Amino acid sequence: MQKNNRKYLIAGNWKMNKTAAEARELIKEINAVVGQKTDVAVAVCPPFTALESAAELLKDTNIQLGAQNMYPKAEGAYTGEISAVMLRELYCSFVILGHSERREYFGESDAFINEKVIAALESNLKPILCVGETLSQRESGEMLSVIETQMKGGLKGVGEDNGENIVIAYEPVWAIGTGKTATPEMAQEVHAFIRKLLVEQFGETGTKVRILYGGSMKPENASELLDQSDIDGGLIGGAALKAKSFAELVTIAQSKS
Ligand code: 13P
């Protein structure tokens, strides 16, 4: 069941997979099955190098495009970086920010992620802000305080007027790419906590923000996760790289819409 008018969002994070040519093939396959569905919001986030061809293929479909990262400055001497304006030019609607892989491998701090969130919103890009604890943080009882720090740090200075332009993805680090999924109850506990933080920051608007679950989500476990009252979709890694499993996830969400 869709909750509080929050349309399910199924978003594929392709990470560093697929050349532009491979991306075209995958997008054509996904498009053929789910390109015209409207009950569920669908997005794909290919690597930067595939965005332009993806945008071309996704024109006139209901599948939206997202990027996996950006730099907070508008332009300048930042070798290797990509700005929000550049992503908007390629018809991106979303940008994934603060993914745990960027936090871990590229040392991204909450303050830096916050700069990106603000810059994305200023360019009308919707941030998908990722938060999540490691296994040792969960086991030592720090889980909720880690989530609170990442939420408050990442969303600092974001006002109620922008609340609905934010998407949160709860991705327990220990569940990413490991085949271990949080049980629906474990995920819901954190999603409910994130909802409380959103309501504290955005008031009523906080009840309208979508909170996605990410971490080994696949057709076999999606239904129970999506049944939880504060799980509004998924940020899908591995299962987004095959049209069949990704389309199945969209179909499962649609069956509950
Ligand atoms: P997996 O679905 O491969 O576990 O990846 C989840 C993820 O990190 C999505 O951003």
Q: pLDDT category, 213, cuts 50, 70, 90?
A: very high
CA 207-209-214 angle, 5° bins? 125
Long-range contacts of 141-147 (CB under 8 A, 24+ apart): 143/190, 144/190, 144/193, 147/190, 147/193, 147/194, 147/197
pLDDT of residue 93: 98
What is the set of active-site residues? 99, 171
Contact 135, 173 (CB under 8 A): yes
pLDDT of residue 38: 86
pTM: 0.97
Q: Is the pLDDT of residue 4 over 80?
A: no
Question: Which residue's CA is minimally distant from atom 7 of ligand 1?
Answer: 237
Atom of ligand 1 nearest to the CA of 215: 4
Mean pLDDT computed over 246-253: 97
Tens of pLDDT, residues 194-211: 999 999 999 999 999 999
pLDDT of residue 28: 96
Tens of pLDDT, residues 6-16: 999 999 999 99
Atom of ligand 1 nearest to the CA of 15: 10
Mean pLDDT computed over 88-112: 98
Give me ligand 1 centre to Cα 76, in Å.
32
pLDDT of residue 208: 96
Q: Is the pLDDT of residue 1 over 80?
A: no
Q: Which residue has the tokens 């095959």?
A: 242
Pocket (CB within 6 angstroms of ligand 1): 13, 99, 171, 176-177, 214-217, 235-239
Q: Can you name the CATH fold of 9-255?
A: TIM Barrel (3.20.20)
pLDDT of residue 37: 82
pLDDT of residue 72: 98
Beta-bridge mates of residue 131: 170
Q: Is the pLDDT of residue 227 over 60?
A: yes
Give me ligand 1 centre to Cα 214, in Å.
6
Q: Is the pLDDT of residue 51 over 90?
A: yes
Question: Which residue's CA is minimally distant from atom 5 of ligand 1?
Answer: 237
Distance (Å, whole) CA 173 – CA 101: 9
Give me ligand 1 centre to Cα 176, in Å.
5
Tens of pLDDT, residues 164-187: 999 999 999 999 988 888 899 999
Q: pLDDT category, 215, cuts 50, 70, 90?
A: very high
